Amino acid sequence: MERLQKFIAESGYTSRRKAEELITQGKVKINDKVVTELGTKVSGKEKIFVEGKLLTKEEKEYYLLNKPRGVITSVSDNRNRKTVIDIINSKKRIYPVGRLDYDTTGVLLLTNDGEFSNILMHPNNKIDKVYVAKINGIIKGEEINKLKNGVEIDGLKTKKCKVKLKRTDLKNNTSYVSLTIHEGRNHQVKKMFESIGFKVLKLKRERVGIFTLKGLASGEFRKLTPKEVAIIYSFNDNK
């Protein structure tokens, strides 16, 4: 027996957190009966419907993509722009883990495993997300310390993080700064710099947990190894 939200996540339909929302919203049925209790357990033999669709467990796929600029981090786009799904073109119903902005490049994971996605995204698991930002202006130590200790964006203070000045370009009046965060709030890195008076000119995510861009040119991708998937599952504190 396993929790209903875990079953939904493992079906590849969505993440566990999103599955919990769907359950409480009354959008999940077990054998045609609406279920709203998060503690509900299932054996897997039941007919489980989410938003009217019958769930079936499918073979899991896991990809690491070096996302290029000008590509949408989404499964589809109503403006017919190229998406990360178009690049991989899997026959499975994969989706991106988290988001990277249209103009942001770097590490992006895609899967149809909702539990895997939830582990990577949950801040309690403290999985590093390492970004390198090119910003306008020359950043000072005092401003770096502000970022390290947390700044207020959208009315909430960010968690403490690691910040390292990689280099400055006095001629072009720019700085290159590395940030390591565990959160994944909307446009977080850009807003963090904006809060201390800097604009992000370029942004690249260089690492997520154990995953780097080694061996992948822009727009290239590869499948994860079973060992890599197992390592991510070892981070799960929500079993």
Residue 38 belongs to domain with CATH number: 3.10.290.10
Say whether both 132 and 204 belong to one domain. yes
Mean pLDDT (the chain, rounded):
94
Residue 172: inside a domain: yes
Marked catalytic residue, from 32, 77, 86, 101? 101
Whether residues 138 and 22 share a domain: the answer is: no
Answering whether pTM is above 0.85, one says no
- Distance of alpha carbon 85 from its chain centroid, rounded? 15
Helices (H), 28-121: 84-88, 114-121
Q: Which candidate, 48, 58, 2, places its Cα nearest to that of 27?
A: 48
pLDDT tens profile 120-162: 998 889 999 999 999 999 999 999 999 999 999 999 999 999 9
pLDDT given at position 237: 53
Q: Are 25 and 70 found together in one domain? A: no
- Tens digits of per-residue pLDDT, 180-233? 999 989 999 999 999 999 999 999 999 999 999 999 999 999 999 999 999 999
Q: Which domain holds residue 47?
A: 2-54
- Residue (of 142, 139, 143, 151) closest to 188 by Cα position: 151
Question: Within 10 Å of residue 228's Cβ, how many Cβ atoms?
Answer: 15
| Averaged pLDDT for residues 99-105 | 96
What is the mean pLDDT of the segment spanning 72-82? 92
Which of 10, 35, 54 is the last residue in one of the domains? 54
Examine the domain organization and report whether 223 and 191 are in the same domain.
Answer: no
Q: Which residues contact 97 (CB under 8 A, 6 or more apart)?
A: 108, 109, 110, 111, 116, 117, 120, 121
Do 117 and 229 lie in one domain? The reply is yes
- 137 shares its domain with 154: yes
**CATH code of the domain covering residue 136:** 3.30.70.1560
Whether residue 30 sits in one domain with residue 74:
no
101 counts as catalytic: yes
| Residue 23 in tokens | 């359950």
Residues 133 and 119 in one domain: no
Residue 14 banded pLDDT, cuts 50, 70, 90: confident
Please check whether residues 116 and 169 belong to one and the same domain: no
Give the least confident one: 5-9, 20-24, 95-99.
Answer: 5-9
The domain boundary residue, chosen from 36, 54, 72: 54
- Residue pair 122/20 in contact (Cβ under 8 Å)? The answer is no
Share of the chain above pLDDT 70, in %: 99
Looking at the structure, tell me whether residues 157 and 47 fall in a common domain.
no
Contact 103, 68 (CB under 8 A): no
Same domain, residue pair 76 and 116? yes
The verdict on 28 and 66 lying in the same domain is: no
Using one digit for the tens of pLDDT, what is the confidence trace for 40-61?
999 888 999 999 999 987 789 9
* Cα(143)–Cα(148) distance, integer angstroms: 9
238, part of any domain: no
The reported pLDDT for the residue numbered 1 is 86
Structurally, the chain folds into a number of domains equal to 3
The full DSSP string for 12-48 is: TSS-HHHHHHHHHTT-EEETTEE---TT-EE-S-S-E
